[in-house]
């Protein structure tokens, strides 16, 4: 990106991360952990491969990411965030929060990946009190999803792991998930609209926002 040429903290930040796609790449690496080139392409539908390669080169020069070879039999290059890259979590979080009201508009023909909900879910799930038993719920699946762990009054959202035992697995059309977790819709209505819980329904309900917060 062309520099703004301004001696200003924010302008200099945008000189590094203001390019198209750059912050979305950070979103992917934050929510998915270290990724391969092809993982990033799957998580960034619409990006051209040359653009992704360009961005990764620039981000490596700016010390936002690092690459390291995995030993055989994997033999792939893993791309991960540096500390400085991970520090962009605050920026990503604020953008995500500011954009939340825009999610009430239907998806039309937008692409969707379940793991994009990882960041919003951290704040939309009901943390509960420290006394309540811990639950683990998978949204989506191993190849595109996230695991929500509610424990000790805290919500933790992590990339899905095959080694993790989950109490329930949830799938749903994205707009149904939005409506349910913003308390615009009841669980029963969500199930009518395609939400399905495999495993402990109680574990999933444990994450829903409390009744008192509905807009109605």
Partner DNA sequence: CTGGATCCGGGAAGATACTG
Partner DNA sequence: CAGTATCTTCCCGGATCCAG
Q: Which residues bind a second copy (CB under 8 A)?
A: 1, 4-14, 16, 18, 20, 23-24, 27, 45-46, 87-88, 90-100, 102-103, 107, 109-113, 116, 119-120, 174-175
User: For DNA, which stretch binds (CB under 7 A), given 40-48, 135-143, 144-152, 205-213?
Assistant: 40-48
Inter-residue contact 9 to 17 (CB < 8 Å): no
Q: Which of 14, 24, 51, 100 binds DNA (CB under 7 A)?
A: 51
**Does residue 12 bind DNA (CB under 7 A)?**
no
**Does residue 47 bind DNA (CB under 7 A)?**
yes
* Closest distance to DNA from the beta carbon of 203 (Å): 33
Give the closest residue to 136 by CA, choosing from 180, 114, 168: 168
Of 73-112, which residues contact DNA (CB under 7 A)?
76-77
**Does residue 37 bind DNA (CB under 7 A)?**
yes
Reduce the DSSP state of residue 66 to 3 states and report it. Answer: strand
């Amino acid at each position: 990106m062309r520099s703004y040429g301004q001696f200003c903290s924010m302008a200099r930040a945008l000189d590094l991360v203001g390019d198209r796609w750059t912050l979305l790449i950070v979103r992917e690496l934050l929510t998915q952990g270290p990724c391969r080139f092809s993982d990033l392409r799957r998580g960034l539908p619409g990006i051209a491969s040359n653009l992704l390669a360009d961005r990764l080169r620039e981000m490596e020069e700016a010390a936002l990411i690092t690459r390291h070879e995995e030993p055989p039999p994997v033999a792939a290059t893993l791309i991960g965030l540096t500390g400085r890259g991970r520090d962009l979590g605050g920026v990503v979080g604020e953008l995500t929060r500011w954009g939340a009201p825009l999610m009430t508009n239907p998806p039309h023909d937008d692409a969707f990946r379940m793991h994009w909900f990882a960041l919003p879910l951290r704040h939309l799930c009901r943390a509960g009190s420290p006394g309540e038993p811990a639950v683990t719920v998978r949204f989506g699946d191993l190849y595109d999803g996230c695991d929500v762990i509610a424990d000790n009054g805290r919500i933790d959202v992590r990339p899905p792991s095959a080694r993790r035992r989950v109490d329930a697995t949830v799938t749903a059309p994205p707009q149904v998930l939005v409506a349910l977790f913003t308390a615009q819709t009841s669980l029963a209505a969500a199930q009518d609209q395609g939400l399905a819980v495999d495993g402990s329904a109680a574990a999933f309900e444990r994450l829903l926002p409390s009744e008192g917060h509905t807009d109605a």
